[in-house]
Structure 1
């Protein structure tokens, strides 16, 4: 039996509701229980931000527990992102071409002269080069990457490729991407939301308007089995998430940013449907909208551009908001990344809400090139 209150069902369609010291300072021990609950492992985990502040590519900045502050005003005084842990050559303005796999961050769209995919290992702080997928350089459709069960899936229509575990040295084994055939009946750019099933092998993927030959808007969810490398149709419904959602064991639900305009700035949660071959889910799983609004308030000191939700473990999340300082003109290259770390719980009335125990951090930088895309979400990984 679930440990949480039952989520109210809204039918097939969601109801529209009404160096590593870049930010370092003296640690505040009062904030450690929130962030530290996620970093009790060895080695400790950090938040890694990928920003476009380098003319030849991107800088990767590491944010640790000492960089967060319990004072909400801490997010108003952004520290300059002047000490990245590493810089990676990659093409602009495609920050969504970065992927995470285990402890590694991959730049999937490197310069044409690169012999392969540049990879930064956050555990060793080392750089290496991995083999290129067939889809390298073919970004006519927005890519989609997901790491599950030791394998990395790259979907850049029409290519669907999987990279298996890296051979352990010393070895003479070749290592390359495997093509998945047949491809799904939709392009990668129409993916609205996705989540990994708790079984550790099944990915649920929702797509919208993927059949232009049909007058009515087609909203469907498919599954991909990372072991069998097979697609399957799950049902005619959409996950209520924008981008990636994460399974939290304590909440026993997927949690992600709300897809719908009426839920802008909020998170939502959704029941986890059974994975194949248990059967298809003909109706959308029950879901619930979070109570708290994390961005987009009229009195905000930040001109909101985009946002990303990152899961830090144990019901702890980080809302990462990208924007422009309100006192700058619209053509400015100035950017601010605001981070809000919070703990999600179900309240006594069953509402999904964040506790008052939160932590804040921010950093500022300038976009280093003219090819700015304000619609791209912040790129961040917890590892």
Structure 2
């Protein structure tokens, strides 16, 4: 009998001379205890796990990775696909590398929407593409299609998510003279974006639909978790929005963060923080701008400076695992931390500071 697969947290780092490394983190309770790390000099801080796998890709662009099609991590770097058989895909369960189709278009700032186990929709600047995987039905398992572009500028997208029925919701800040949310039904062949309502999802970036809460959960720039119920998509009324009472970010030292949904209302917050409590996260972010510029304007290869120099111990990751529910009165979101599930990790010295200061690239697979 095949051994049952256990999901893990996978973290991507821009720390390899030829590309990126993937680190596999166990979030089980038994692995939650952290000893004193002599390397970090801080109690409870340990180095991130050893490299699970390397992937060769242009450095400085960690946001071009996504997960889809089950347990696969995909490198959506268009220049890579030009030199290979298609989009490189790492299956973390099988520990294999395969290739998907050639990208439909050039990807600059893609927003990816995995739908089920066999579809991926990619929204980018002026483009909207669909990738279909049907290995059980065809000798040619991959299909791809360039769909009509959306009626909004992707640079104005503030938040987004996927409903359980496969409908994509995208909120924008400057559509038709005001904020608005659009809907795209992936189950229909008409391929039309439709205005849904005149309100926007209250968080920033990706939202995760939680059945037990009846809505999307997401992080906001102000450090709170929000939940927006989705009954309003059919009634046209404003959604019912709940918020955590307290911020989930580390005070002063916060740099960036990614919220990972582990299923059934359980989440992991992967937060990048400044290692030195005397240096605020904002100060560190501002220094990244300077570190991302070459010292010599006559350098031959500007790609060496994309993402800046090594982070050199200036950043750490704080991982918090928790469950979300409504408080007894239904007035706010209630966060219950999982026992022993707050962890601190020192980061690879070679990881580029500019990439580290971006929202962490993390997948639960």
* TM-score of the aligned structures, taking structure 2 as reference length: 0.79
- Say if 2:47 and 2:346, in contact at 8 Å, map to a contact too: yes
- Say if 1:239 and 1:284, in contact at 8 Å, map to a contact too: no
> Which position in structure 1 is the counterpart of 2:105?
135
Cα distance in 2 for partners of 1:295, 1:369 equals 22
The partner residue of 1:372 within 349, 354, 360 is 354
Cα distance in 2 for partners of 1:81, 1:375 equals 16
- Say if 2:272 and 2:356, in contact at 8 Å, map to a contact too: no
Q: Is the alpha carbon distance of 1:322 and 1:207 closer, same or farther for their aligned partners in structure 2, counting shifts above 3 Å?
A: same
User: Displacement, 1:122?
Assistant: 1.6
Cα distance in 2 for partners of 1:133, 1:297 equals 41
User: Displacement, 1:192?
Assistant: 1.2
Runs of 5+ unmatched residues, structure 2 = 288-309
Q: Is the alpha carbon distance of 1:317 and 1:70 closer, same or farther for their aligned partners in structure 2, counting shifts above 3 Å?
A: farther
Cα distance in 2 for partners of 1:125, 1:328 equals 41
Q: Write the deviation string for residues 312-352 of structure 1: whole angstroms up to 9, x where unpaired.
A: 11221111101231168756713322110011122223231
> Which position in structure 1 is the counterpart of 2:184?
224
> Which position in structure 2 is the counterpart of 1:185?
151
Answering whether residue 198 of structure 2 is matched by residue 236 of structure 1, we say yes
The partner residue of 1:287 within 241, 244, 255 is 241
Mapping for residues 80-119 of structure 1, pairs under 5 Å: 80-81=47-48, 83-101=50-68, 102-109=70-77, 111=80, 113-119=83-89
Answering whether residue 154 of structure 2 is matched by residue 204 of structure 1, we say no
Q: Is the alpha carbon distance of 1:365 and 1:89 closer, same or farther for their aligned partners in structure 2, counting shifts above 3 Å?
A: same
- Say if 1:50 and 1:58, in contact at 8 Å, map to a contact too: yes
User: Displacement, 1:72?
Assistant: 12
User: Displacement, 1:162?
Assistant: 0.5
The partner residue of 2:324 within 335, 340, 344 is 344
Answering whether residue 45 of structure 2 is matched by residue 78 of structure 1, we say yes
User: Displacement, 1:368?
Assistant: 3.7
Answering whether residue 49 of structure 2 is matched by residue 69 of structure 1, we say no
Q: Secondary structure at the match of 1:164?
A: strand
Q: Is the alpha carbon distance of 1:369 and 1:250 closer, same or farther for their aligned partners in structure 2, counting shifts above 3 Å?
A: closer
Cα distance in 2 for partners of 1:239, 1:254 equals 8
Q: Is the alpha carbon distance of 1:118 and 1:328 closer, same or farther for their aligned partners in structure 2, counting shifts above 3 Å?
A: farther
Aligned residue pair count: 320
Q: Secondary structure at the match of 2:354?
A: coil
- Say if 1:68 and 1:361, in contact at 8 Å, map to a contact too: no
User: Displacement, 1:357?
Assistant: 3.6
> Which position in structure 2 is the counterpart of 1:312?
262
Cα distance in 2 for partners of 1:115, 1:342 equals 41
User: Displacement, 1:166?
Assistant: 3.6
Q: Secondary structure at the match of 1:153?
A: strand
> Which position in structure 2 is the counterpart of 1:17?
none
Which structure ranks higher in relative contact order (CA pairs < 8 Å, sequence separation ≥ 6)?
A: 1
Q: Is the alpha carbon distance of 1:60 and 1:355 closer, same or farther for their aligned partners in structure 2, counting shifts above 3 Å?
A: same
- 4+ runs of 1 displaced by more than 4 Å? 70-76, 327-332
Q: Write the deviation string for residues 336-382 of structure 1: whole angstroms up to 9, x where unpaired.
A: 22110011122223231112544122322246476725652111111
Answering whether residue 6 of structure 2 is matched by residue 48 of structure 1, we say no
* TM-score of the aligned structures, taking structure 1 as reference length: 0.75
Runs of 5+ unmatched residues, structure 1 = 1-40
Q: Secondary structure at the match of 1:189?
A: helix
Q: Is the alpha carbon distance of 1:166 and 1:337 closer, same or farther for their aligned partners in structure 2, counting shifts above 3 Å?
A: farther
Q: Is the alpha carbon distance of 1:326 and 1:198 closer, same or farther for their aligned partners in structure 2, counting shifts above 3 Å?
A: same
Cα distance in 1 for partners of 2:214, 2:200 equals 19
Q: Is the alpha carbon distance of 1:178 and 1:356 closer, same or farther for their aligned partners in structure 2, counting shifts above 3 Å?
A: closer
Answering whether residue 138 of structure 2 is matched by residue 156 of structure 1, we say no
Q: Write the deviation string for residues 200-257 of structure 1: whole angstroms up to 9, x where unpaired.
A: x10111111245xx5xxx2110011112233111012110121111122222222111
- Say if 1:248 and 1:254, in contact at 8 Å, map to a contact too: yes
- Say if 1:292 and 1:353, in contact at 8 Å, map to a contact too: no
- Say if 2:35 and 2:44, in contact at 8 Å, map to a contact too: no
> Which position in structure 1 is the counterpart of 2:302?
none
